[in-house]
Amino acid sequence: MSLDSNAALVLFSGGQDSATCLAWALARFGRVETLGFDYGQRHRVELDLRVPLRVGFAASFPVWAERLGEDHVIDLSVLGQISDTSLTKDVAIAMQANALPNTFVPGRNLLFFTFAAAIAYRRGIKHVVAGVCETDYSGYPDCRDDTVKALQAALNLGMESRFVLHTPLMWIDKAQTWALAQDLGGKVLVELIRTSSHSCYHGARETLHDWGYGCGSCPACELRANGWEKFRAA
Amino acid sequence: MSLDSNAALVLFSGGQDSATCLAWALARFGRVETLGFDYGQRHRVELDLRVPLRVGFAASFPVWAERLGEDHVIDLSVLGQISDTSLTKDVAIAMQANALPNTFVPGRNLLFFTFAAAIAYRRGIKHVVAGVCETDYSGYPDCRDDTVKALQAALNLGMESRFVLHTPLMWIDKAQTWALAQDLGGKVLVELIRTSSHSCYHGARETLHDWGYGCGSCPACELRANGWEKFRAA
């Protein structure tokens, strides 16, 4: 099985992190495809913003337009069968003591990476890029660097391949993620990500704040706003 | 997250291998749940036979009846989106040179194990049992021992858990799988698996051969028939 080492598949949800990862990949690889998962997420708006983000990237950066390849959207409504509380025995209480929400799908990012690798295999793509991150710690062990590296080994054994899983945001915070976008595409890219990516848990798109759209009070908006302030102050 | 070390989740498709694994788990653990995946498999009959197999096990072995817990069936029709030839670029030709069929879903067993671990997590189950096997080599690298062991590490890191993935058939052939069934439940179990499990690629259930139902000429029937002959001759 030969994989194109000049090609990347980006796990692209439409949020700030994955939009920055898409730019990171477009700056490095000659063919970049994107992958989204539709699993009935609370903020469906995030998924809807994937297309204008891609269009914006291509319109603003002619070199990237040539590199930007197909978009894949996989229906993962099956996740609802696993997050369903009907599956949960008494042990679920222990999980909530863990500070993980009850709808938490254990190992969700393991599934995302495994589906991504299967699609990369099909598409002959060597590099898989995802915006998982330990820094703004989410409580999810499937975002950790150890997990991603162990999974790369398992995927390569299981598919008899040599995929590389890239996580360019693993060790940087939200302010540094904005700075990375600026390095990759200057003010134009920062402005695109600020106005077209989405983080808000409530899917609020009414008000454009300094740091982008959102309700301004959910944990995702707070994280994004704080990162933006720190980036602007630097 | 505490997992019940006396509980197992068996990947139970309704074939000879997974039926033997179910017996293996019922002989060892105090609570045994089963998991099936519905992904529009060619031989849907296999999935349909899961229920009578469970009923037969419980009716024939009172101790097992007490141990046999819930059955879970997860809709994995999403696999069709990945095996879809529309995803396949020119590289698919190389895959066929690999002796893997074009509808091959790369890393399918990685997905099965990951979904199983997610459900085991939800159900507080420590042990996950699957009938993957290197011996009657299928060409699928995701059935190999190295893959399963690497994946166990990745799953445990990603879910912050201590699951154990058991593969009791990894190093035995089909004749030894029949012998294992005899050790676990004598002639009664062998007869149950012979008449109620299913392997045939074509889903044929018209003729009961010595070795069970099936068309008798597809690779799965040949493998099963040869294993049965070798077992009977031993």
Cβ contacts (< 8 Å) between B142 and chain A: which residues?
Answer: 158-159
Residue among B105, B114, B141 minimizing CB distance to A111: B114
CATH architecture under which domain B4-198 falls: 3-Layer(aba) Sandwich (3.40)
| pLDDT score recorded for residue B102 | 52
Cβ contacts (< 8 Å) between A155 and chain B: which residues?
Answer: 107, 110
- Looking at the DSSP bridge assignments, the partners of residue A166 are A129
| pLDDT score recorded for residue B101 | 53
List pLDDT tens digits, range B59-70: 999 999 999 999
List pLDDT tens digits, range B36-55: 999 876 667 778 889 999 99
Residue B58 has pLDDT above 90, yes or no: yes
- The chain-wide mean pLDDT, for chain B, equals 89
Q: In a mutagenesis test of the A interface, which of B33, B84, B114, B142 is the best target, namely the one with the most A β-carbons within 10 Å?
A: B114
Closest CA to B153 of A98, A156, A149, A137: A149
| pLDDT score recorded for residue A88 | 57
Region A26-33: what's the mean pLDDT? 98
Residue B97, chain A, CB below 8 Å: the answer is: no
Cβ contacts (< 8 Å) between B34 and chain A: which residues?
Answer: none
| pLDDT score recorded for residue A92 | 42
Residue among A144, A153, A159 minimizing CB distance to B106: A159
| pLDDT score recorded for residue A135 | 83
Residue B15 has pLDDT above 80, yes or no: yes
Instruction: Give the ipTM.
Output: 0.90
Q: Label residue A68 by pLDDT band (50, 70, 90).
A: very high
> Of the ranges A43-47, A86-90, B91-95, B172-176, which one carries the lowest mean pLDDT score?
B91-95
List pLDDT tens digits, range A192-223: 999 999 988 888 888 999 999 999 998 889 99
List pLDDT tens digits, range B23-33: 999 999 999 99
List pLDDT tens digits, range A142-178: 999 999 999 999 999 999 999 999 999 999 999 999 9
Cβ contacts (< 8 Å) between A147 and chain B: which residues?
Answer: 154, 157-158
SS3 B9: strand
CB contact under 8 A, B159 and A153: no
| pLDDT score recorded for residue B85 | 56
Residue A69, chain B, CB below 8 Å: the answer is: no
Give the angle subtended at the CA of A16 by the CAs of A85 and A69, to the nearest 5°: 100
Cβ contacts (< 8 Å) between B147 and chain A: which residues?
Answer: 154, 157-158
List pLDDT tens digits, range B82-109: 876 556 554 443 444 445 555 568 899 9
Residue ranges covered by each domain of chain A: 4-198
CB contact under 8 A, A121 and B114: no
Closest CA to B192 of B52, B94, B1, B45: B52
| pLDDT score recorded for residue A42 | 62
List pLDDT tens digits, range A102-118: 556 889 999 999 999 99
| pLDDT score recorded for residue B100 | 52
SS3 A233: helix
Residue A107, chain B, CB below 8 Å: the answer is: yes
Looking at per-residue pLDDT, the higher value among B106 and B228 belongs to: B228
Neighbouring CB atoms inside 10 A of A34's CB total: 26
Nearest residue in chain A measured CA to CA from B113? A111
**CA Rg, chain A, in Å?**
17
Q: How far is CA B124 from CA A89, A100, A161, B73, B112, in A?
A: 7, 16, 33, 17, 18
Distance from C-alpha of B101 to C-alpha of B96, rounded to nearest angstrom: 6
On whether the CB atoms of residues A37 and A12 are closer than 8 A, the answer is no
The count of CB pairs under 8 A between chains A and B is 153
List pLDDT tens digits, range B123-168: 999 999 999 999 875 668 999 999 999 999 999 999 999 999 999 9
List pLDDT tens digits, range A38-52: 987 666 777 888 999
Cβ contacts (< 8 Å) between B151 and chain A: which residues?
Answer: 154, 158
